């Protein structure tokens, strides 16, 4: 019975991923260069590591749908502390976007965060996205799935100040 349940779960997941991928098939897809990406992040004074030869993105309207779908999936997981923490969740989002939307411009960021109320600081991993216009967005599943456009480093989202240290794309 356990084996059957596992098989059904795997098949259901595969069907769900394929349906999600198919729902993104008509989204516009744009190829952008690593230089364009580096230029966008250089304005923030942030180091970017890119592993791919080609980068693909979409417009912000399509990103909004992808973010909302991703948040719908991630918020329903029961994450285990110290096993699946913020870097694992950011990696999961990055790979989920890659597999379903076939976009590799949702990166994993290394960020110093400061609570604007208490002043407490910590290191954190949200996702950073670049759209077809070279605009940058932060998406943080650990901050209730909030996301916003960013134009400078040291910005505030919710009750947290974010100081981006580095980003990994690809």
pLDDT digits (tens, 9 = 90+) for 39-63: 999 899 998 887 788 999 999 999 9
Contact predicate 74/141, CB 8 Å: yes
Residue 34 is predicted with a pLDDT of 87
- Give Cβ neighbours of residue 165 (< 8 Å, ≥ 6 apart): 46, 47, 109, 110, 111, 112
Weakest mean pLDDT among 1-5, 34-38, 110-114: 1-5
Helix 86-101 / helix 60-74 crossing angle, nearest 10 deg: 130
Residue 134 is predicted with a pLDDT of 94
Q: In the chain, how many domains are there? A: 1
Task: Indicate whether 117 belongs to any domain.
Answer: yes
CATH number at residue 74: 3.30.460.70
Provide the domain limits for residue 160: 28-169
Task: Indicate whether 15 belongs to any domain.
Answer: no
Whole-model pTM: value is: 0.90
């Amino acid at each position: 019975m356990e084996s059957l349940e596992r098989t059904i779960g795997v098949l259901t997941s595969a069907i769900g991923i394929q349906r999600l991928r198919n729902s993104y098939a008509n989204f516009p897809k744009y190829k952008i260069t690593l230089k364009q990406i580096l230029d966008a992040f250089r304005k923030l004074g942030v180091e970017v590591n890119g592993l791919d030869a080609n980068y693909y993105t979409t417009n912000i309207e399509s990103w909004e749908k992808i973010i909302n779908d991703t948040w719908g999936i991630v918020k329903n997981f029961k994450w285990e502390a110290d096993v699946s923490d913020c870097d694992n969740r950011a990696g999961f989002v990055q790979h989920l976007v890659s597999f379903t939307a076939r976009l590799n411009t949702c990166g994993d960021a290394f960020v110093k965060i400061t609570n604007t109320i208490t002043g407490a600081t910590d290191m954190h991993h949200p996702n950073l996205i670049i759209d077809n216009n070279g605009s940058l967005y932060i998406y943080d599943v650990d901050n209730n799935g909030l996301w916003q456009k960013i134009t400078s480093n040291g910005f505030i989202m919710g009750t947290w100040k974010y100081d981006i240290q580095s980003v990994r794309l690809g």
